[in-house]
Amino acid sequence: MARILKFLSGRKMTKNERVAAALKGDHVDAVPVSAWWHDFEREWLAHDLAEATLEAYRKYNWDFIKVNPRASYFGEAFGAKYAPREGRQPDLIEPGVSAPEHLRRIERQDGRSGVWVEQLEALRLIAAGLEGEAPFMQTIFSPLATMSRITGSTKYVQRLMTENPGELLAALEPVAETLAAYSKASLDAGAAGIFFATVEWGSADVISIEDYNRFARPFDLKVLEAVKGAPFNVLHVCRDHNHLMHLRDYPVAALHWAWNDTNPDHYEVHEGIRAEEERAVMGGVSQETMLSGTPREIKREASNAQASTCLRHHLLAPGCSIDPATPEANLRALVKAAR
């Protein structure tokens, strides 16, 4: 029996096993690792997005994938028009909502037609390319973040909160229902879960926690409830001075957030998670270090994160989407730090 146990403990895990064990807090043979960035020119066709995603996966041998589609399509689905720009995020051409009365135009969609078709096809192509080798998540913006892409302006949504709260709340309902349906469709297309991103609305610089609890939390939970059975749902709380500590009760498998001095550190978040919740933390290296730091600095940040979790309940990644200009040497240093 001892010889069998020794063999099993030394066996190299598959990527699916490694990720599943890390999410549960079980022993892993290496910390699961991944990173992601925009390929702005290749995000406008399903085939191109899938190809770019799989190229990066194979080049760096990631343990898991976070699909990184263009952010504008969430607004496009509800009437906003965007145009691609070389090397950066698309430009808004025409908002889907530019006056309070336009909020009534927003209707629930099935999440499987219109703009959503292109993204679901990209997921199916990614799933086919992976052949079950590794899990992947589809990025889903929160309903409030989607509203910012519909209007093209976070400041305008802030104004609606003050001047037209009832109309805004009524419009967020069909947005949340649509995103819930689309999230379920993403699972059907092969995703192991969703990467639920609050984007700018995760920051206290943008919204108070009182307003977040009114205009965001109920709609966030509606989306997450739709995919509660998926094994790899992740909450991403972005930007400085974030609301992560108020949102860590969300029903997800892992918490991921922007890494900087204004936000909770890895140890604080990990220690605040109750043992019975079996929730992992994802991150460990800031995107600034990934872009401008050295491989040695990446190794140090990764090692500090790993030490704070004792290699349990941890998946190594940058704190957010990294700059496409991030040096290859730094990406390889991230992988090496995990393995």
Q: What is the DSSP string of 90-133?
A: EEEEE-S--SGGGGGG-----SSSTHHHHHHHHHHHHHHHHTTS
pLDDT at res. 38: 96
Q: Please, what sign has the CA dihedral across residues 54, 127, 45, 141?
A: negative
**For residue 29, what is the enclosing H or E element?**
none
Note the pLDDT tens digit of each residue in 242-292: 999 999 999 999 999 988 889 888 777 877 665 546 789 999 999 999 999
The residue ranges of the chain whose pLDDT is under 50 are: 1-8, 276
Domain ranges of the chain: 15-338
Note the pLDDT tens digit of each residue in 10-52: 689 999 999 999 999 899 999 999 999 999 999 999 999 999 9
- Residues 288, 258: contact at Cβ < 8 Å? no
- Residues 31, 311: contact at Cβ < 8 Å? yes
Q: Residue length, the chain? A: 339
* Distance, CA of 199 to CA of 202 (rounded, Å): 6
Helices (H), 189-318: 209-215, 217-226, 244-247, 266-272, 287-292, 295-309
Domain 15-338, second-level architecture: Alpha-Beta Barrel (3.20)
- Residues 25, 8: contact at Cβ < 8 Å? no
- Residues 270, 283: contact at Cβ < 8 Å? no
Q: How many C-beta atoms lie closer than 10 Å to residue 17's C-beta?
A: 16
pLDDT at res. 62: 98
pLDDT at res. 158: 98
pTM of the predicted structure, to 2 decimals: 0.94
Q: Give the CA distances from residue 72 to residues 167, 199, 212, in Å, rounded to whole numbers and listed in that order.
A: 23, 13, 22
Q: What is the DSSP string of 239-275?
A: SSSB-HHHHTTSS-SEEEE--STTS--HHHHHHHS-G
Backbone angles phi, psi at 230, to 5 degrees: -75, 145
